Amino acid sequence: MKQIELGNTGREVSQLALGCMLMGTSTSEGEAHTLLARYLDAGGNFLDTANCYAWWAAASATGAESENVLGRWLAASGKRHEVFLASKVGGMVRDPAALWSPSGEVDWPRARRNYEGAGAETLRRGIDASLRRLQTDYLDLYYVHVDDWVTPLEETLDALTGLVRAGKVRHIGWSNVRTERLESIRRLCQQHGHVAPVALQQQHTYLRPRAGLESVSIVDDAQLEHLRRHPELTLVAYSPVLKGVYDDPDKRRGHWVMESYQGPDSEARLSALARAARELGVRPNQLVLAWLLQQRSPRVIPLAGPRTLEQLEQHLEALRIELPPELVAQLDAVESRAERAAS
């Protein structure tokens, strides 16, 4: 597995990150240890978790499962210094047990109004709890998981800078954030000497968001342009294969993940992707990962979150797919007939 520089930090990480969200809930601890060992054996080193993974998996879940599983594996394997370890704060909810309906469904609108936020005390308590669960004394990367519009940015940045200076965090990142906020963060860091983010974790895939979509989480054209202008900020793309829907037309129909992408542009891109995958003899999911891995402006680190070893092996196969530059250009240029007519 190739290594690439994260931002302008001089620190190299594997080109494919391993999302650990499901470990300890949908993926058993034993299976998680197998996935981690296989990923490292393939040359990977970039592990991603959060302090809330995954409270929504079951009414009995606490949100500490993934960090606890990783911590036990790191302690037992002795691999801490072989991995680049990222976690997040700000996405945990207050009183998760109260967010379950009698029918066993999560009340997501209410949950989104009850995020813990990114206040200074939340960050200080959060990092200590994550370090304890992960059984380490520092994180390589610490994200603000959900952008907090209530807490002043200066407070959040000052607290994060304090964590870096205390040696508890090496680098910081942001997730689920609008481009104008990234500009504000960058400006404040320059003005006041705060530690600046080196990673942006957003949802990003081959399909483009539908026209008119308002989303804090999905990369749009403006955010791509921001990243091109600021190579010190590396895009870590979560949900790169959109829950695996590229491989299964039946799964795409009616799947909630497609709500942000529906329209003729996506239909054109799905058709082109399926055709290219058939010609190459690969899965569409794998082709999407290969396409992302070959993006250079901006650079992209796909974040794959397999539930099983079989899914991980399929993701790793994408590392062996070398796309001709002309095919990458063709896939980049796909648009619907209506878009071509309008241009």
Nearest to 71 by CA among 105, 111, 24: 24
In the predicted model, is pLDDT for residue 336 greater than 80? Answer: no
Per DSSP, what are the bridge partners of residue 84? 46
Q: What is the pLDDT of residue 310?
A: 97
Report pLDDT digits (tens) over 44-78: 999 999 999 999 999 999 999 999 999 999 999 99
HSE value, Cβ hemisphere, 13 Å, CA-based, for 267: 8
In sign, the C-alpha dihedral spanning 287, 334, 241, 42 is positive
Quickly count: other Cβ atoms within 10 Å of residue 228's Cβ.
12
Token pair of 301, please? 């680190």
Long-range contact list for 216-223, CB < 8 A, 24+ apart?
Answer: 216/147, 216/176, 216/177, 216/178, 217/175, 217/176, 218/260, 220/179, 222/179, 223/179, 223/182
Average of per-residue pLDDT across 190-199: 98
Question: What percentage of the chain has pLDDT greater than the value 90?
Answer: 96
Q: What is the pLDDT of residue 19?
A: 98
Q: What is the pLDDT of residue 335?
A: 87
Contact 87, 130 (CB under 8 A): yes
Quickly count: other Cβ atoms within 10 Å of residue 154's Cβ.
12
Contact 307, 22 (CB under 8 A): yes
Range of the domain at 109: 3-342
Cα–Cα distance between 221 and 202 in angstroms, integer? Answer: 13
Q: What is the pLDDT of residue 300?
A: 97
Q: What is the pLDDT of residue 285?
A: 97
Cα–Cα distance between 340 and 18 in angstroms, integer? Answer: 37
Contact 35, 27 (CB under 8 A): yes
Average of per-residue pLDDT across 178-182: 97
Quote the pTM value: 0.96
Number of domains in the chain: 1
Q: What's the chain's Rg over C-alpha atoms? A: 20
Average of per-residue pLDDT across 186-198: 97
Question: What percentage of the chain has pLDDT greater than the value 70?
Answer: 98
Report pLDDT digits (tens) over 101-122: 988 999 999 999 999 999 999 9
Token pair of 79, please? 């691999």
Per DSSP, what are the bridge partners of residue 93? 115
In the predicted model, is pLDDT for residue 305 greater than 80? Answer: yes
DSSP code per residue over 132-173:
HHHT-S-EEEEEE-S--SSS-HHHHHHHHHHHHHTTSEEEEE
Cα–Cα distance between 143 and 157 in angstroms, integer? Answer: 11
Cα–Cα distance between 323 and 75 in angstroms, integer? Answer: 39
Quickly count: other Cβ atoms within 10 Å of residue 89's Cβ.
26
Per DSSP, what are the bridge partners of residue 4? 13
Average of per-residue pLDDT across 220-224: 96
Q: What is the mean pLDDT of the chain?
A: 96
The band of 254, judged by pLDDT with boundaries at 50, 70 and 90, is confident
In the predicted model, is pLDDT for residue 341 greater than 70? Answer: no
Contact 116, 92 (CB under 8 A): yes
Cα–Cα distance between 194 and 201 in angstroms, integer? Answer: 20
The band of 96, judged by pLDDT with boundaries at 50, 70 and 90, is very high
- DSSP state, residue 78: T
CATH number at residue 113: 3.20.20.100
